[in-house]
């Protein structure tokens, strides 16, 4: 399997979505949605409940057939192509679905082996076991988690097992759908740290759907905001805060947003000079101000796909 240890930050987007339209009956979920994801970044995807974050992810990975638009991943179109035509593309990404989506009748190790068996049926059992053990440990699970069934795992362990499966094929691109939902603050911070460490060490690009403001502040390079059936803005949090959009202001500058800023500031202080991680301190969202972020945002450029000026994506 290919190794992708060096983060590449070339200018071509790793994901490019153009003019996407998704409907269910009369319900229009996306219309004229544009988005570009840069190689090597962690892109947070936020939006109110039901704005279509998961449907967007499913459209990108080919589980949802849009009624219009184009999706390119690794520079290749993925829509309206047969499974056979996209097999080489699908090998290059991993997906952690909401809740982990583990097969309950398979052990953790067997779950990790599912994509290996699908794409590399020639691998023998000893090698499958070896790769699965490696992925299990890589995601911070104890080595003896491999033979356990999902029902024997805690929520946090299930997420890690799902992540181990998503990493089975050494992907370049990782899709995470609400990975910290349902985790306690310490578990969520530890999962954030793991995601960031994987991005850095494996050179991953991460498409991360989340409602977790702490995650956005702690690890996302940029954030895409879904509203009004499209991506209304993409940028760093500082850049988004400079926008006058009511949902963005309420989301990032509301009480929870301010708390997330305060939490990050405390962690930044704690991290120097002793490099204490958020997993160790377990500090998440406990009050503070976003004024400094808002002031700094005044000097920044904004990227607004589907409207506005400047570079897209």
Ligand X SMILES: Nc1ncnc2c1ncn2[C@@H]1O[C@H](COP(=O)(O)OP(=O)(O)OP(=O)(O)O)[C@@H](O)[C@H]1O
Residues that bind ligand X (CB under 6 A): 24, 29, 47, 49-55
Least distance (Å) between residue 250 CB and ligand X: 16
Q: How would you class 219 by CB atoms within 10 Å of its CB: exposed for 0-12, middle for 13-18, buried for 19 or more? A: buried
Query: Which lies closer to ligand X via its Cβ, residue 252 or residue 293?
Result: 252
Least distance (Å) between residue 57 CB and ligand X: 8
Sign of CA dihedral 208, 211, 216, 218: negative
Least distance (Å) between residue 43 CB and ligand X: 15
Distance CA 300, CA 296 (A): 7
Query: Which lies closer to ligand X via its Cβ, residue 51 or residue 304?
Result: 51
CA 249 to chain centre: 22
Query: Which lies closer to ligand X via its Cβ, residue 148 or residue 245?
Result: 245
Least distance (Å) between residue 100 CB and ligand X: 15
Query: Which lies closer to ligand X via its Cβ, residue 19 or residue 99?
Result: 99
Query: Which lies closer to ligand X via its Cβ, residue 51 or residue 195?
Result: 51
Least distance (Å) between residue 168 CB and ligand X: 24
Distance CA 199, CA 21 (A): 30
Least distance (Å) between residue 257 CB and ligand X: 17
Query: Which lies closer to ligand X via its Cβ, residue 53 or residue 90?
Result: 53
Query: Which lies closer to ligand X via its Cβ, residue 59 or residue 205?
Result: 59
CA nearest 179: which of 225, 149, 211, 148?
211
Least distance (Å) between residue 248 CB and ligand X: 16
Distance CA 261, CA 142 (A): 32
């Amino acid at each position: 399997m290919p190794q992708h240890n060096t983060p590449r930050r070339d200018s071509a987007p790793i994901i490019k979505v153009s003019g996407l339209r998704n409907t269910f009956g009369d319900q229009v979920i996306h219309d004229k949605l544009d988005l570009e994801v840069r190689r090597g970044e962690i892109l947070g995807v936020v939006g109110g409940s039901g704005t279509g974050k998961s449907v967007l992810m499913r459209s990108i990975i080919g589980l949802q057939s849009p009624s219009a638009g184009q999706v390119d991943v690794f520079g290749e179109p993925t829509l309206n192509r047969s499974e056979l035509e996209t097999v080489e593309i699908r090998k290059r990404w991993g997906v952690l679905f909401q809740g982990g989506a583990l097969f309950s009748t398979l052990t953790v190790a067997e779950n990790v082996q599912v994509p290996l068996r699908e794409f590399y049926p020639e691998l023998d059992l000893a090698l499958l076991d070896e790769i699965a053990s490696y992925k299990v440990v890589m995601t911070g699970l104890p080595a003896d988690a491999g033979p356990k069934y999902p029902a024997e795992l805690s929520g946090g362990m299930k997420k890690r097992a799902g992540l181990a499966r998503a990493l089975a094929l050494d992907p370049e691109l990782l899709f995470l759908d609400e990975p910290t939902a349902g985790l306690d603050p310490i578990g969520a911070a530890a999962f954030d740290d793991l995601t960031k460490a994987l991005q850095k060490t494996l050179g991953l690009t991460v498409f991360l759907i989340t409602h977790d403001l702490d995650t956005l502040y702690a690890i996302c390079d940029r954030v895409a905001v879904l509203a009004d059936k499209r991506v209304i803005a993409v940028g760093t949090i500082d850049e988004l805060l400079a926008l006058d959009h009511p949902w963005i202001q309420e989301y990032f500058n509301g009480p929870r947003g301010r708390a997330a800023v305060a939490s990050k500031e405390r962690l930044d202080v704690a991290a120097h000079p002793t490099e204490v991680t958020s997993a160790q301190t377990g500090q998440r969202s406990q009050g503070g101000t976003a004024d400094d972020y808002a002031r700094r945002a005044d000097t920044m450029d904004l990227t607004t796909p589907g409207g506005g000026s400047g570079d897209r994506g």
